[in-house]
Structure 1
Amino acid sequence: MNVVEKKMKLTSKKDFLKCFDRATPGSRWNGNYYTDLGTGVTSKNLMLIYQDTYIFGKGFMGVADVKVPEKYRKIR
């Protein structure tokens, strides 16, 4: 609906993850576009996403706020 009303862009990673945040209050999401390690080509129409983990009685771990270092994106 927000894309139709031009409040969000369909191709925006930030807007895409914001939709997941709204659907799961209190939780956080993060992700990145898929990169084929064999060819080095990044696919803008495929995103790998992950949700913050909830620990019962303690709350969310905060893993969605951790950035993956660039060196791990180039492991072969």
Structure 2
Amino acid sequence: MLLELRCPESLHYAASSEGGAESWAILASLVNTAKLHELDPQAYLTDVLERIVSGRTKSHQLHELLAWHWKAARQRTAQAAA
């Protein structure tokens, strides 16, 4: 089931605890940072999570997954393929 990120009021239960509020704040920050950099938040977060879970990105490389670095890497890959 996909969560509707445009309607945070429908997820108010997530903030009923301090931990839930912190988790929601982190997710909202990631989504809004992706939007700020003109990225599709779902595509960005899916790729980032897959890279972390699969081990393709090691802990010392996590900075490469920041939205602005991720976008630049995607642009370089697209230019190289063209």
> TM-score, normalised to structure 1's length?
0.28
Higher relative contact order (CA 8 A, sep 6+): 1
* Structure number with higher helix proportion: 2
* Structure number with higher strand proportion: 1
